[in-house]
Structure 1
Amino acid sequence: MLKPAIPDNESQRLNALEEANILYSPTEEEFDNITQLASFICKTPISLISLVGEHEQWFKSKYGTDMCTSERDISFCSHAILEPEQLMEIEDTRLDVRFVDNPFVLAKTEPIIYYAGMPLKNHNNMVLGTLCVIDTKPNKLSQEQKNALKSLAKQVEILLELKRKNDYLENIKKQLNEHNAMLKDFAGVVSHDMKMPLANMIITADILKAKFGSKLGEEGLDYLQNLKQAGLRLSGYINGILDHYESDNIAASKNEEFDVNQLLEEIIDLLNITEDCVINLPEDNTIISSNRAALEQIFLNLLGNSLKYNDKPKIIIDIEFSQNPDFYYFSIQDNGIGIPKEKEDDIFKLFTTVAKSDRAGNKGNGIGLSTVKRLVGNLGGNLKVNSEVGEGTRFTFSIKRKA
């Protein structure tokens, strides 16, 4: 018996095998289907997907045997991987100097008399192991069977590559989730810690104006007003961040029954509208069962934007509602400044703003629509926008109905 040689690129090959993250992994139906098919096509009782490690070979999938591993020095696959592009076929192992006294060949029960193995390579052309078929008597594959075995080996390589990529993406997803959790915690702590000093700053500006307004003069009062407005804008920004990161918790709230029009009327009252404005509610009062808190947050943001980003003397907002057995549908149409077509996708990105300023001359923070999209997605729906610059904007969104 001849021991198999060690490939010249053995260290790189072993690194590739480790990076594949496949050794000693659980059985998978996709791989088992291939070994079963290989055995059927080649008409052999045994088929294996063998991965050749540093000291042993391990079978990712096996058909027709209970054996899970064997020593590398006596494995047939360790010889097969030395010729990465070739199918190694041994018609009678008893006649091959490499295997004549191999323990598997001399076994009294189910000896390995026939072997055919096609090397398996990764995306960098490193050989990881083989797809092989085994018989207990002399055998010989037809050319069609050889071609089929090579094709099945390619399918194993594809599965290995898909698994590698999936593992990589899962790792990236895990890291992103960890980073997002850290960012969420950081944003929450910073925002909460800043709210009180900001409130004190705003209150102090009002106190200074009340006590010393007559002594400060017009310029001093302007400074105080600018200070207060800056504090209010920053406070709104912080509240937006908190709302954004709390949206997941809001979306997890329990469903409750409520009247759509009553909800909208309460939201309109909260907005404290002072402009010349007409808001047309849905014609019918409809009772729905949904996440009331989430819908309230969605409408506060969308109606707030329709009010702020409007340059018409009279603001007109039309709200529509419909439903089917699977979804609730809402739409909000305004006659505001509109959104350029090329910017419609950007408005849902966090911290992205399109308009330079709103109706009052203030610049937005780019948080509200991102929060709306997040809430709608968490509620199993979709959010769309259709807008015409100078004419107005229509937001439509759906909410999945729960049984």
Structure 2
Amino acid sequence: MKPADLPKNEDERLSALKEYKILDTLPEEEYDAITKIASGICNTPIALISLVDKERQWFKSNHGLAAKQTHRELAFCAHSILQPDDLFIVNDATKDDRFHDNPLTTGNPNVIFYAGAPLNTSEGHAIGTLCVIDNKPKKLTKTQQEALKLLAKQTVSLLELRKRNQELNKVNDKVTKLNEQLNNFAYRLTHDLKSPVSGVNFLVEVLKEDYKSLFEKTGAEEYISLISGRMSYMSTLIDEILEYTKVNTEHIVYEDFNLKTLLDSIIKNIDFEDKIFLYSNNLDINIRSSKIGFVQVFQNLISNSRKFCDEDKVKLEVEFSKDETHYYFIYKDNGPGIKEEYWKKVFNMFETLENTNNENTGIGLATVQSIIKRLGGIVYTKNRDDLKKGASFHFSVAINEMNE
């Protein structure tokens, strides 16, 4: 028996193998499917995805073989990786000086025929093979050889995809942690600002009441009103940032609630002028989702409709439907609507429209989008299907089967 020499790039090859983080992982259907196909095409009882480690060959997939690994000195695959540009074929190991007395040939699993297609990484490192084995002499046709090579390339594609997914998961973890840190910072900052802003608001109101005649005489009333308006905006901005940070950090709680009851309650709490009217008749139904999430979504939408409506009455329509996976909503109002050029921008933080007043912070719809994304849905705006004046928001929310 003649053990294989080490490849000239052995250190780099082993480093490349470790980057895939696949050694000693559990079986996976995608890899098992490849060995099963290879076995069928080549008409052999055994097919393996073998990865050549420092002192062993380990089988990611072992069709027709119980063993999970063997010592590298015995491995046919250790010879195969020495010629990474072609198949390594042993038609009859009993007549080959390198293998005739190999324990894998003389004993179980009785490797007589072997054909290995190298698994070459994009950097050119042969980290293992896709091999087929028979316990009797054999020859592969050109078609079978070509198929084995193609299946080996497919195996490498799976490994590369696995590697990219791992890298993406690392990046996503970093981004998630950074977002959490940013949200926590924003929460602490706005929470700390809330108290002094409230204090300034209170002092401005005191000045307006106690020194009204003085401000009127000196012409300073306009400036005091301007300060009051700016502080009111600041207070609203702080409250909405706090709401946005909570949306992205708080745990989602699912519960049963009635859509009509929820919407009626929101309208009652914000409609101080008795000008909001809901024209929908199919909402008296119970659903199971995040009640607080739905409150925040519809509260933001309805508040915007009330704030920017240029009609005497705010007329709202809410349509509801569902399928096996999602709830679907269409929200319409009779306000000025949204120009198509702003359909995507309105969901960006601090994005405001050219026809809005100074009360708009540009956070409300960003909050709506964030909530809906966390609930497994999407939101977008478009023209009303009935071609009437007003905005039209379409959004979905995933049905949580564990909670439905």
Question: Is the TM-score greater than 0.5?
Answer: yes
Whether the 8 Å CA contact 2:267–2:276 is kept in 1: the answer is: no
Q: Within 5 Å, which residues of 2 pair with 1:162-311? A: 162-215=161-214, 218=218, 220-247=220-247, 249=250, 252-257=253-258, 260=260, 263-274=262-273, 277=275, 279-283=277-281, 286-290=284-288, 292-310=291-309
After TM superposition, the structure 1 stretch with the greater mean CA deviation from structure 2, 262-271 or 124-133, is 262-271
Q: TM-score, normalised by structure 2?
A: 0.84
Q: Distance in 2 between matches of 1:111 and 1:120?
A: 24
Whether the 8 Å CA contact 1:338–1:390 is kept in 2: the answer is: no
Whether the 8 Å CA contact 2:381–2:392 is kept in 1: the answer is: yes
After TM superposition, the structure 1 stretch with the greater mean CA deviation from structure 2, 249-258 or 51-60, is 249-258
Q: CA, structure 1 residues 227+62, in 2 after alignment: closer, same or farther (shift >3 Å)? A: same
After TM superposition, the structure 1 stretch with the greater mean CA deviation from structure 2, 114-123 or 176-185, is 176-185
- Structure 2 residue runs of 5 or longer lacking an equivalent are none
Q: CA, structure 1 residues 392+119, in 2 after alignment: closer, same or farther (shift >3 Å)? A: same
Whether the 8 Å CA contact 2:379–2:394 is kept in 1: the answer is: yes
Residue 303 of structure 1, CA deviation: 1.8
SS of the residue corresponding to residue 300 of structure 2 reads: helix
Tell me whether 1:25 sits opposite 2:25 in the alignment: yes
1:374-403 CA distance string (max 9 Å, x none): 333445555332238994312244556774
Supply the AA of the counterpart residue of 1:347: V
Supply the AA of the counterpart residue of 1:256: F
Show the counterpart of 2:46. 46
RMSD: 3.2
Supply the AA of the counterpart residue of 1:385: T
1:279-302 CA distance string (max 9 Å, x none): 353257835445554333222211
SS of the residue corresponding to residue 384 of structure 1 reads: strand
SS of the residue corresponding to residue 13 of structure 2 reads: helix
SS of the residue corresponding to residue 318 of structure 1 reads: strand
Supply the AA of the counterpart residue of 2:233: R
Q: CA, structure 1 residues 264+153, in 2 after alignment: closer, same or farther (shift >3 Å)? A: closer
SS of the residue corresponding to residue 364 of structure 1 reads: coil
Whether the 8 Å CA contact 1:2–1:99 is kept in 2: the answer is: yes
Q: Within 5 Å, which residues of 2 pair with 1:356-371? A: 356=354, 358=356, 361-362=357-358, 364-371=360-367
Supply the AA of the counterpart residue of 2:16: A
Show the counterpart of 2:8. 8
Show the counterpart of 1:138. 137
Tell me whether 1:104 sits opposite 2:104 in the alignment: yes
Q: CA, structure 1 residues 173+100, in 2 after alignment: closer, same or farther (shift >3 Å)? A: same
Whether the 8 Å CA contact 1:44–1:134 is kept in 2: the answer is: yes
Whether the 8 Å CA contact 2:282–2:320 is kept in 1: the answer is: no
Whether the 8 Å CA contact 2:256–2:286 is kept in 1: the answer is: no
Whether the 8 Å CA contact 1:357–1:364 is kept in 2: the answer is: no
Residue 168 of structure 1, CA deviation: 2.2
SS of the residue corresponding to residue 194 of structure 1 reads: helix
1:12-38 CA distance string (max 9 Å, x none): 322221111211211112212222332
Whether the 8 Å CA contact 1:376–1:399 is kept in 2: the answer is: yes
Q: Distance in 2 between matches of 1:165 and 1:154?
A: 16
Whether the 8 Å CA contact 2:247–2:371 is kept in 1: the answer is: yes
Show the counterpart of 1:118. 117
Residue 363 of structure 1, CA deviation: 5.3
Q: Distance in 2 between matches of 1:398 and 1:132?
A: 48
Q: CA, structure 1 residues 372+213, in 2 after alignment: closer, same or farther (shift >3 Å)? A: same
Supply the AA of the counterpart residue of 1:370: A
Whether the 8 Å CA contact 2:121–2:127 is kept in 1: the answer is: yes
Q: CA, structure 1 residues 36+287, in 2 after alignment: closer, same or farther (shift >3 Å)? A: closer
What's the % identity of the aligned pairs? 34
- Figure out how many residues of one structure are paired with residues of the other and give that number: 395
